[in-house]
């Protein structure tokens, strides 16, 4: 089944404890993105990648890192999480730049 998977689905952590949210797609898509969804703000793009080893900042990259060492994986790294990073995070992928994005199921992160 064609899909985007994210792990973990739920995570509660404390301020400053490094964490990684994994994202993997099995559709051989070139493009991948990370978003955060907050009430009243919609989705905001954190980082995106147009190919292996090619990443760039979205609208809200502060406090996040990404890497794209393999085509299928695009992990999101929070080196020192803070409470303002409490949010619902989505990974998405698309075959080409004009194509629709396929979204993962989301990761709900709480930083206390």
Partner 1 sequence: AQSVAQPEDQVNVAEGNPLTVKCTYSVSGNPYLFWYVQYPNRGLQFLLKYITGDNLVKGSYGFEAEFNKSQTSFHLKKPSALVSDSALYFCAVRLAFAYKYIFGTGTRLKVLA
Residues interacting with partner 1, by CB under 8 A?
Answer: 4, 31, 33, 35, 40-45, 48, 50, 56, 58-59, 90, 92, 97-98, 100-106
Identify the bridge partners of residue 102 per DSSP, sorted by sequence position: 93
Residue 104 C-beta: closest distance to partner 1, Å:
6
In this structure, are residues 34 and 66 in contact, taking their beta carbons and an 8 Å threshold?
A: yes
Judged by CB, which is closer to partner 1: 55, or 85? 55
Token representation of residue 56? 């760039």
Q: How far is the CB of 11 from partner 1 (least distance, A)?
A: 16
Whether the CB-CB separation of 28 and 52 falls below 8 Å is answered with: no
């Amino acid at each position: 089944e064609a899909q985007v998977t994210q792990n973990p689905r739920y995570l509660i952590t404390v301020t400053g404890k490094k964490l990684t949210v994994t994202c993997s797609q099995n559709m051989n898509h070139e493009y991948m993105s990370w978003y955060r969804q907050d009430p009243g703000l919609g989705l905001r793009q954190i980082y995106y990648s147009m190919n292996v080893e090619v990443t760039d900042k979205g609208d809200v990259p502060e406090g996040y890192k990404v890497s794209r060492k393999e085509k299928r994986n695009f992990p999101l790294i929070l080196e020192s999480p803070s409470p303002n990073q409490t949010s619902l995070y989505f990974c998405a992928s698309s075959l080409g730049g004009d194509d629709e994005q396929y979204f993962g199921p989301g990761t709900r992160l709480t930083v206390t």
